[in-house]
A and B are shown apart, each in its own frame.
With several copies, the nearest count.
Chain A
Amino acid sequence: MSNQTEAETDLVARAETIASFEHQHTLLSRIQHALHSNPALVPLIVLVASVLVFGALLGTKFFSSFAMTLILQQVAIVGIVGAAQSLVILTAGIDLSVGAIMVLSSVIMGQFTFRLGLPPAVAVACGLAIGTLIGFINGWLIARIKLPPFIVTLGMWQIALASNFLYSGNETIRAQDIEANAPLLQFFGQSFSFGGAVFTYGVIFFILLVLALAYVLRHTAWGRHVYAVGDDPEAAELSGVNTRRILISVYALSGLICAFAGWVLIGRIGSVSPTSGQSANIESITAVVIGGISLFGGRGSILGMFFGALIVGVFSLGLRLLGADAQWTYLLIGALIIGAVAVDQWIRKVSA
């Protein structure tokens, strides 16, 4: 169990031992220990294995830098939302409102530009601010009024989604209009490529976000406090963590990240559409859990979520390419979610 939470930087376990009973260092036991002390390693292995299997089955159609980066593009939004979700779940919470915050923010960015005529930069800032505000309200209700996160964000989900539809009047803003008048909104949709690999700015943002959060969680006091709050809030409070402030900041940050996801979403679909992102909450939770973060808080790493999101992306694309129809794909992804976690569990048991 040691170093459960210490995965990000040192993927090879340290041998720092004050005093130790003599015991054999076989290769297997080393692997087990490495797997064990680095929760992100298991999803990484599942990911690599699934890429190899699909690559073997599908050949270059799948195993090309183009297809690989396409998967990154497809998972970028779920992954960004999943980063927000990871923070919340590390505090033993859950955020069902992530998708709704994302869509509402993107609608605000669009409508503030086109309906109110604000400069795009200001509209984007407003969208980010509103996302943060909703997250802050979630956090405030959870930390101060001590309501269960599930219920608060369930309610907020409905509120944000309904506001989104009411405010947007269900109107879509077309990609061509945005391109002509407010290209800033599509900023994250721009891309560059080398070789066959295509990277959108949204994908770059996703990767940088994950790395930044991994650093913050591992190497700053705030990050350690997030883990402590998720682990045992009462103990954290008694040992000097301002649990309320941590919780509120986590939910507000989650709101901000979701608002960024909304901006990235505009880049991806070109237009501003109030009907997007309705299953983002379930999908982000799936990524988080496949990535090995415990729903009970305090255990797991955000890198795991990153691999978790990619696993889902690899399976979706791989299965479609194998010719499974939509219903079968849906069924197989269900089975594979269970399978991936079962493998994870099995590895952990072996090494226990």
Chain B
Amino acid sequence: LITKTDTNPFFVKMKEGAEAKAAELGITLKSFAGRVDGDHETQVAAIETCIADGASGILLTASDTSAIVQSVQQARDAGLLVIALDTPLNPIDAADATFATDNFLAGELIGKWAAGKLGADAANAKIALLNLGISQPTVDVLRNQGFLQGFGIDLADPNKWGDETDPRIVGHDVTAGNEEGGREAMENLLVKDPMINVVHTINEPSAAGAYEALKSFGRENDVLIVSVDGGCPGIANVRDGVIGATSQQYPLQMAALGVEAIKAWADTGVKPEPTPGKDFFDTGVSLVTDEPVDGVESIDTTEGEALCWG
């Protein structure tokens, strides 16, 4: 199992899910991770290690979805099954299979929810977008652009954020995906325009940081924060009203499915099939909120808590 980092709870849970499943199936699992998000070379080294180690398959969440392809090919040539988890490779068929959240869809859900929640005010909303990092990793772009699409904003180039011209966007800032960055980015954008009322955050920790900033500005009650992930602290934050809505994804399931698929490959040589209609196996995403909006399917926090990870 090779993840982007092993410091993000999402990947930690993914690892735990894989470990549990591996123990159940009697498989040996070794885990590798990059140092920081975007740390591509360490992932390449990890793939090489797996080949040297004689592994039968690799579960991979790629930091650079295009760049990793050559190494993946090397592994497949060496007879390993490579399954992309969470993040599809580019091109998607570079891996034998992909078990992923549809991150664009995840963004779209919270975008729609936010638009629905504001109703008519959506036309003159003031939006802050708190992203991951200036290197614009794919998930970051997909969630950001999905959100804007869902909210009804023209995307310009859907492969990058920051090129939109819609006046409702106050600005983009980067958070490194943690509370500290979330707070500072939110403060910066609030000084720029104190009337911000919609905040998209890349993940729940940055949402928590953004909330602290709003609190210090005394605006925590009249701003909608939306996020993606569905970790247990995040769901609890939705319940407490810190976050308005979040798109929940299922890393445990991704990992478990991945481990099963590799087991099947090792035992019988059968490769997993993608979800019909998509070119990857969608592990699903659901919107979690206690204030459902018409036209957007959602589950409440009780249900979300039952499904949350970490």
Question: Within the complex, what minimum Cβ distance (angstroms) separates A98 from chain B?
Answer: 14
Listed stretches B175-183, B248-256, B261-269, B297-305; interface member: B175-183
Within 8 Å by CB of A321, from B35, B52, B131, B177, lies B52
Asked whether, in the complex, the Cβ of B9 is within 8 Å of the Cβ of A171, the reply is yes
Residues of B within 8 A of A316 (CB): 45, 188
Within 8 Å by CB of B36, from A61, A191, A278, lies A278
Residues of B within 8 A of A270 (CB): 67, 69-71, 179, 208-209, 211-212, 215
Residues of B within 8 A of A278 (CB): 36, 38-39, 135, 176
Question: Roughly how many angstroms separate A174 CA and B28 CA in the complex, as a whole number?
Answer: 33
Residues of A within 8 A of B179 (CB): 172, 269-271, 273, 275-276
Size band of the interface chain A makes with B: 35 or more
Would you call A299 an interface residue if the criterion is a C-beta within 8 Å of the partner chain's C-beta atoms? Answer: no
Report B65-87 CB contacts with A as 1/0, cut-off 8 Å.
11111110100000000000000
- B residues with a Cβ closer than 8 A to A are 6-9, 12, 28, 30-33, 35-36, 38-41, 44-46, 48-49, 52-54, 63-71, 73, 90-91, 131, 134-137, 141, 159-160, 162, 171-174, 176-180, 182-184, 187-189, 191-192, 205, 208-209, 211-212, 215-216, 233, 236-237, 240, 242, 310
A–B Cβ pairs within 8 angstroms, 25 of them: A70-B191, A74-B45, A77-B180, A165-B136, A170-B135, A170-B160, A172-B64, A175-B69, A176-B237, A265-B180, A269-B41, A269-B44, A270-B215, A273-B66, A274-B7, A275-B8, A275-B137, A276-B64, A277-B180, A316-B45, A317-B188, A321-B53, A321-B188, A323-B30, A330-B35
Question: Roughly how many angstroms separate A271 CA and B210 CA in the complex, as a whole number?
Answer: 12
Within 8 Å by CB of B90, from A174, A265, A272, lies A174
Question: Roughly how many angstroms separate A61 CA and B191 CA in the complex, as a whole number?
Answer: 7
Tell me how many residue pairs across A and B have CB atoms closer than 8 Å. 212
Asked whether, in the complex, the Cβ of B171 is within 8 Å of the Cβ of A320, the reply is yes
Closest to A276 in B: B180
Asked whether, in the complex, the Cβ of B71 is within 8 Å of the Cβ of A269, the reply is yes
Report A323-339 CB contacts with B as 1/0, cut-off 8 Å.
10111001000000000
- Do A279 and B212 contact each other (CB < 8 Å), given the known contacts A165-B134, A320-B188? no
Question: Roughly how many angstroms separate A174 CA and B209 CA in the complex, as a whole number?
Answer: 10
Question: Roughly how many angstroms separate A68 CA and B215 CA in the complex, as a whole number?
Answer: 18
Would you call A268 an interface residue if the criterion is a C-beta within 8 Å of the partner chain's C-beta atoms? Answer: yes
Asked whether, in the complex, the Cβ of B7 is within 8 Å of the Cβ of A269, the reply is no
Asked whether, in the complex, the Cβ of B52 is within 8 Å of the Cβ of A276, the reply is no
- Residue among A191, A268, A272 with max Cβ neighbours from chain B (10 Å): A268
| Residues of A126-164 whose CB lies within 8 A of B | 162
Asked whether, in the complex, the Cβ of A317 is within 8 Å of the Cβ of B191, the reply is yes
Question: Within the complex, what minimum Cβ distance (angstroms) separates A273 from chain B?
Answer: 4
